[in-house]
Amino acid sequence: MEPVNLFDLATRQSQWLAVRQTAIAGNIANVNTPGYLARDVEPFEKVLDRTGMMLGSTQPGHMGFGATEASFRTQAQEYNGALLPSKNTVVVENELMKAGEVRRAFEMNTAIVKAFHGMLLSVSKG
Amino acid sequence: MDALTATLRIAASGLGAQSERLRVVSENLANAQSTGNFPGADPYQRKTVTFVSELDRVSGGSLVDVGAIDRDPSAFRLEFEPGNIAADENGYVKLPNVNVLIEMADMTEANRSYEANLQVIRQARDLISMTIDLMRTP
């Protein structure tokens, strides 16, 4: 059966959000580490653009080239504020804001999946 | 390891590092008046703590670890107090190089960072339970 596209998309977005949350946790944990550069995940749109060109796997034995957690790249962010003497670029307020964004997006994501799931149920139950 | 579990792990390492820092601050404050116990002896020397970032090979995240607890090499305060047991031949006592205001500022910062890490844990837990809620029948 053809996988329903929306579930696939929602799964990918929730994986991306989880990876982003990990990046935020790393930044907050290292808020007082000298020389630490704040990191973030590449934007979700970029991930979607990239996955369009990936090879599909038709058998379980094939190497996966789809969007797995490992394929979301995290990179050190550009920083355009004044650099502290400790060369640390984490701003706690920014990180907490990003965490709020992740939370909102995740709530939206689960709500949509729930609604879609309810539709499927109502169809199959009749 | 899935990303949200890794998040919990990273935030827990942050909690550990900040509480270690709070411990060092409390040591400094408790010993802010500790002098030596023989004439001319060195008093308590302020401790400092540094953090290092550490790549967690299991989850790919960056944990934080307490790197080293060093001694502050700045000069001791001198006070004229000939009756003290630690006074040298001129009557001066060396007092610790602990500045209570700096320790207080350090404590506030450690507190703030600890709270931020707690917030991350709280949120990761909420995200996990939102996902589990998907399985509940509406």
The parent domain of residue B28 ranges over: 3-32+45-75+99-133
The answer as to whether B103 is a domain residue is: yes
The model's pTM: 0.82
The answer as to whether B127 is a domain residue is: yes
Please say if the pLDDT value at position A70 is more than 70.
no
CA distance A67 to A18: 13
A30, A36, A120: best to mutate for the B interface, most B CBs within 10 A = A30
The answer as to whether A126 is a domain residue is: no
> Residue-wise pLDDT tens for chain B (138 aa)?
788 999 999 999 999 999 999 999 999 999 998 988 888 889 999 999 999 998 888 777 889 999 889 999 999 989 998 888 888 889 899 999 999 999 999 999 999 999 999 999 999 999 999 999 988 866
Contact assignment for B109 to A25 by CB distance below 8 Å: no
The answer as to whether A124 is a domain residue is: no
The answer as to whether B37 is a domain residue is: no
Q: Which residues pair with B80 in a beta bridge?
A: B92
The answer as to whether A95 is a domain residue is: yes
CA distances (Å), origin A103, targets A24, A63, B3, B53: 12, 32, 15, 26
Number of domains comprising chain B: 1
The answer as to whether A99 is a domain residue is: yes
The parent domain of residue A31 ranges over: 6-118
Chain B residues with CB-CB distance to A24 below 8 A: 7, 120
Chain A residues with CB-CB distance to B51 below 8 A: 30, 32-34
Nearest neighbour of A118 by CB, restricted to B14, B133, B138:
B138
The answer as to whether B15 is a domain residue is: yes
The answer as to whether B90 is a domain residue is: no
The answer as to whether A125 is a domain residue is: no
The answer as to whether A123 is a domain residue is: no
Check if the beta carbon of residue B106 is closer than 8 Å to that of residue B47: no
Number of domains comprising chain A: 1
Which structure tokens are listed for B11?
């935030």
CA distances (Å), origin A126, targets A61, A118, A121, A123: 38, 12, 8, 5
Chain centroid to Cα B63, Å, comes to 16
Which strand (E) or helix (H) includes residue B21? helix B3-30
Q: Which of A1-15, A77-91, B10-24 has the highest mean pLDDT?
A: B10-24
Residue with the two structure tokens 């973030």:
A40
Distance from CA of A58 to the nearest CA of B (A): 24
Please say if the pLDDT value at position A56 is more than 60.
no
Check if the beta carbon of residue B31 is closer than 8 Å to that of residue B98: yes
Mean pLDDT of chain A: 82
Residue whose C-alpha is closest to residue A46's, from A25, A16, A19: A16
Distance from CA of A123 to the nearest CA of B (A): 14
The answer as to whether B119 is a domain residue is: yes
Q: What is the pLDDT of residues A98-117, one digit of tens each?
A: 999 999 999 999 999 999 88
The answer as to whether A1 is a domain residue is: no
